[in-house]
Amino acid sequence: MRRIVVRVLVVLLVVVLAAGVGGYWYARPLLLTGTGYAAHNACAVGILAGRNQPATDLPPNPLVPHLSTTIGSDRASTTIRGVLAGQTAWYVPGYGCTIADTKPTFPAPTEVKPGANPYTAAPSPTTTPAMTALLATAFGDDLDEAGRTRLGTRGIVVLRDGKLVAERYAPGFTATTPQLGWSMSKSVTNLLVGRMVLAGTVKLDEANLHPSWTDDRATITVDQLLRMTSGLSWDETYDLGTPITQMLYGEKDMGAYVASRPLAHAPGSYQQYSSGSTTFLCSALAPRAGGADMPRRLLFAPMGLSSATFEPDAVGTPVCSSYMWATPRDWAAIGQLALNDGSWGGSKLLPDGWMARSVALTPVQQTEEEGYAASWWTNRKADGSLVDTRLPADAYWATGHDGQRVYVVPSQGLVVVRLGFSPGVRGDDLRATQLVAGMGALPR
């Protein structure tokens, strides 16, 4: 997909340079995708994560030499050749980076203390030789430098029976470096909805989620949005004029944009992956629990996820499809909460049976996403067969762009986090599944 985007961006840049003003305004929507991506990346990597080489998180792209990025104390701005398609991402403490014309204002963020998270200050474990070997393979120690760079593993954390048993980080990364989960944010959104269901402020069968929906869209439920069966017209392809690029880089109010989409299928009948569904869901529910502060109030503070940040759009909707940052240990805590079915530090944060329901498939007439349940991927297909025969039947996982994974295997008391920057690396080539299978085979 990224190769397609790169080719189109380069062609459009040629059009701009050749055709002048007219070519620029034709190409501007997708050029904004390039500058918006770069500005947000520079802001988040440089300011939120505190790393000094944000360009290393840009995929290989012939457009990069034409991008000009400046980073200040609270913003990053990117243009093409210093003048075209400018975008600015603003940093707000507690909320990360948001693309907007002017610096946004959000509620005072809920304080998150690390004490509720047993993994934050836990000493780094001494691993067994077998675990060390598995970590080495997952980091590509057997590969040459180019191969290791392509594999791109940056952090691995393994929990077994609730204890931190293994971890390793790439040079330049530590246990305290936040990393972007991309679409693993969708699985965290499932937990946020669970918190609201437990509190009685949301019901899974709740409909009438937007005042403009006076047609069949009014029947779309919270559960259907979690399961990508809303039926709203969508295209997840990163290309000129597609909904996903327009939402992320062209809309101040992402939820309102998604709400404007027409139905392509009857709600509940067709499953299609849609970042719009998840972000719209948060736009509908966040006002009930603090708006942009919802993730901190409902989940990060009770769990002690002091590194976690859920970045909002310009009107304060958490971009629940894509923009949660956290350290590998805090991502592992998310997996452990799921494995515990919501039990955390003596409290119950999710309804009983929440995760069993969340990883169970709902029958639909047609699906494009085999194994996708309520914002978690499950190892069971609709016909009962396994998605991946190397993993136990009860395994499930969160998945994000560029190779982000959180695996949960209840029967083995196992949580495995793999974070990295792996554009162009196919899922199996990440070596993540092999790592999970190998850790599961070790004695407890």
Q: What tens-digit pLDDT sequence spans the chain (444 residues)?
A: 444 455 555 555 554 554 454 445 445 667 888 899 899 999 999 999 999 989 899 877 667 788 999 999 999 999 998 888 899 999 999 999 999 999 999 999 999 999 999 999 999 999 999 999 999 999 999 999 999 999 999 999 999 999 999 999 999 999 999 999 999 999 999 999 999 999 999 999 999 999 999 999 999 999 999 999 999 999 998 776 789 988 998 899 999 999 999 999 999 999 999 999 999 999 999 999 999 999 999 999 999 999 999 999 999 999 999 999 999 999 999 999 999 999 999 999 999 999 999 999 999 999 999 999 999 999 999 999 999 999 999 999 999 999 999 999 999 999 999 999 999 898 889 999 999 999 999 999
Does residue 85 sit in the same domain as residue 220? Answer: no
Question: Can you give the pTM of this predicted structure?
Answer: 0.94
Q: Are 386 and 361 in contact (CB under 8 A)?
A: no
Q: Is residue 117 part of a domain?
A: no
Matching residue, tokens 């629940």? 320
Does residue 254 sit in the same domain as residue 351? Answer: yes
Q: Is residue 264 part of a domain?
A: yes
pLDDT of residue 21: 47
Q: Is residue 427 part of a domain?
A: yes
Give the count of domains, the chain: 2
pLDDT of residue 84: 85
Q: What is the DSSP string of 293-304?
A: GHHIIIIIHHHT
Does residue 296 sit in the same domain as residue 385? Answer: yes
pLDDT of residue 7: 52
CA distance 250 to 223: 27
Does residue 431 sit in the same domain as residue 309? Answer: yes
Does residue 176 sit in the same domain as residue 93? Answer: no
Does residue 40 sit in the same domain as residue 178? Answer: no
Q: Which residues does 32 contact at the CB level (< 8 Å), separation at least 6?
A: 85, 87, 249, 250
CA distances from 215 to 30, 32, 312, 407, 437 (A): 32, 33, 29, 39, 47
Q: Which domain holds residue 218?
A: 169-441
pLDDT of residue 10: 54
- Provide the total of helices (H) and of strands (E) in the chain, helices listed first: 13, 17
Does residue 92 sit in the same domain as residue 195? Answer: no
Does residue 226 sit in the same domain as residue 371? Answer: yes
Choose the final residue of a domain: 45, 65, 99.
99
Q: Is residue 434 part of a domain?
A: yes
CA distance 13 to 66: 9
> What is the enclosing helix (H) or strand (E) of 317?
none
Does residue 95 sit in the same domain as residue 217? Answer: no
Q: Is residue 273 part of a domain?
A: yes
* pLDDT, tens digit (0-9, with 9 covering 90-100), for 371-396: 999 999 999 999 999 999 999 999 99
CB atoms within 10 A of CB 411: 10
Q: Is residue 110 part of a domain?
A: no
Does residue 89 sit in the same domain as residue 177? Answer: no
Sign of dihedral through CA atoms 49, 318, 59, 34?
negative
Question: What CATH number does residue 275 fall under?
Answer: 3.40.710.10
Q: Is residue 135 part of a domain?
A: no
Choose the final residue of a domain: 79, 99, 119.
99
Q: Is residue 157 part of a domain?
A: no
Does residue 312 sit in the same domain as residue 174? Answer: yes
